[in-house]
Amino acid sequence: MVILGIETSCDETSVGLVEKGKNSQNARLLSNFVATSLPLHSKTGGIVPEIAAREQLKYIVPVIKQALTDSNLYPPSSKLYHQSSTIYRPQIDAIAVTVGPGLLGSLLVGVETAKTLSYVWEKPIIPTNHLLGHTYANFVRENSKLKTIQFPALALIVSGGHTDLILMNGHGKIKWLGGTRDDAAGEAFDKIGRLLNLPYPGGPSIEKAALNGNPKAFNFPRPMIYSRDFDFSFSGLKAAVLREIKTIKLLDNKTRSDLAASAQQAIIEVLVAKTLKAAQKYNIKSILLGGGVAANQSLRDRFKFEIRSAKSADKIPLFVPEKWLCTDNGAMIAVAASFNYKPLHWSKITANPELYFK
Ligand code: KG4
Ligand code: ZN
């Protein structure tokens, strides 16, 4: 089955195509194309929803065409004609689209485009949760010799808008264990990046600055690291960084790097500790990371280190998508839909900015 996935929940416009066999535990990537309006948002230091949606309106059709072209499913040899008109239908089986959570204007661009294509191409459409997409980025795996993801799996989703731990007892069998009570991990990176005068988005900028910094230079709090639940909180950390900055007369590059490395270390330690605690409690067989923050190399390394150092019974296999698959993309939406194939008639599909697991 070939699925075309459309993702427009935030500032990216992305379309990806994947193929999955009926009982296969992996999906094969055919193509993925991303158009971003990031340079416009870098100027404002954050995403302006109105600007993001307006850019997405311009990009969506060219991006669909490009993704189809790259997958070799676009046209012209296999042209199919609809009655007397010249409607081309690509050789796909279904369309998947992010219906939420996300920015309403942005979601609407993808959702209305997907509905139109579903009607015109006469293809089923699968409404898909963006956060599930981040988790399923782990199922894009070409090499059959790679370890298979086993259930129960635990997914840590760390993006600009979310920090969630979810228990997966199988495809479509999901239980939300906990999430952030205030800022998401990516949001903390972005806000701390702004405090340090680093370019937006803060995550990659902090990661880069931290390479020259000492993670022990500042002893920032590790919020909720020992709490009994699986919730997170990062707004206090941001406030602690701000307090520290106010005491510094001159924010030179060395101090900026030390602050970046210390703040990054605090975020990483909390994420790793709580994920591994949940993994033990629920006898997890696979840990999956997903979302933009999962592209952070220090986070990936720390997870690997902690798992390697664990007692053999606690050495749970870790799955991490390729870095480009961690940030928003259409392929992950197509993969999530291929494992959770629940098509709806296009007229029943609506964008839901508040969509969640709970
Ligand atoms: O998943 P994503 O692309 O979009 C949302 O669904 O929000 O995640 C974007 C977030 C931003 O907050 C960005 O700063 C963060 O992911 N991010 C990173 C890195 N790359 C992106 N955070 C830490 N380290 C990175 N390398
Ligand atoms: Zn995302």
Which bound ligand lies closest to the C-alpha atom of 201?
1
* Atom 13 of ligand 1: nearest residue by CA position: 203
Distance 292 CA to ligand 1 centre (A): 3
Mean pLDDT within 39-50: 87
The whole model's pTM is what?
0.95
Q: What is the pLDDT of residue 247?
A: 97
Q: What residues contact 254, with CB distance under 8 A and at least 6 apart?
A: 212, 213
Of 329, 321, 350, nearest in space to 63 by CA: 329
- Closest atom, ligand 1, to C-alpha of 185: 12
Asked whether residue 353 carries a pLDDT value surpassing 90, the answer given is yes
Angle between helix axes 185-195 and 253-281 (nearest 10 degrees) is 170
Q: What is the pLDDT of residue 85?
A: 61
Mean pLDDT within 70-86: 61
What CA–CA distance (Å, rounded) separates 37 from 53?
Answer: 9
- Closest atom, ligand 1, to C-alpha of 290: 1
Instruction: Quick: pLDDT tens for 158-211.
Output: 999 999 999 999 999 999 999 999 999 999 999 999 999 999 999 999 999 999
**What's the mean per-residue pLDDT of the chain?**
94
**Rg for the chain, CA atoms, rounded:** 21
What is the strand order of the sheet 173-179 is part of?
173-179, 163-170, 153-158, 286-290, 318-319
Q: Is the peptide bond before 152 cis (omega within 30 degrees of 0)?
A: yes
What CA–CA distance (Å, rounded) separates 172 from 340?
Answer: 6
Amino acid at 199: P
Q: Which domains does the chain possess?
A: 2-140+326-348 (3.30.420.40), 153-320 (3.30.420.40)
Mean pLDDT within 55-61: 97
* Atom 23 of ligand 1: nearest residue by CA position: 203
Instruction: Quick: pLDDT tens for 82-120.
Output: 555 667 788 999 999 999 999 999 999 999 999 999 999
Query: 160 CB under 6 A from ligand 1?
Result: yes
